[in-house]
Amino acid sequence: MLYILILLLGGAFSYFGPWWTIAPVSFVICFCLPQKPSAAFWTSAFAGVTLWVGYSVYLHIGADTDLTARVAGIFTAGVPALADMPAIALVVILATLVVAPVSGFAGLAGVKIRQLIRSSL
């Protein structure tokens, strides 16, 4: 349930807002729904990665130009070993490396703040 909520609300907020809206969504949902800290971290991280990878593939398929090759070219300039890698794979790896810690730690922070508030009452 946590995964689906983060995926749906994160997708809706990311559609209308900036890229980092996955963090407050993960925080609030993990704050409101009681979870173990490790479960909150990994579920939030996987939901964020699923959302971003899905959106990356959607943009790759629907673009008239080769957008992923241009984005990958920014990161592979001057590195011949990375130039042979498919552009979509590089974009997916970069998206995973960015969003997994952002959404995972936001979910973990939501659980820990909930525990802190409940222990002080």
Q: Which domain holds residue 77?
A: 2-120
- pLDDT tens, the chain, 121 aa long: 999 999 999 999 988 999 899 999 999 999 999 899 999 999 999 999 999 998 888 888 887 778 888 888 888 877 777 777 888 888 889 889 999 999 999 999 999 999 999 998 7
How many structural domains are present in the chain? 1
Contacts of 107 (CB under 8 A, 6+ apart): 6, 26, 27, 29, 30, 35, 40, 41, 43, 44, 45
pTM score, two decimals? 0.86
Contacts 24+ apart (CB under 8 A), 7-10: 7/47, 7/50, 7/51, 10/47, 10/48, 10/51, 10/103
Contacts of 71 (CB under 8 A, 6+ apart): 87, 91
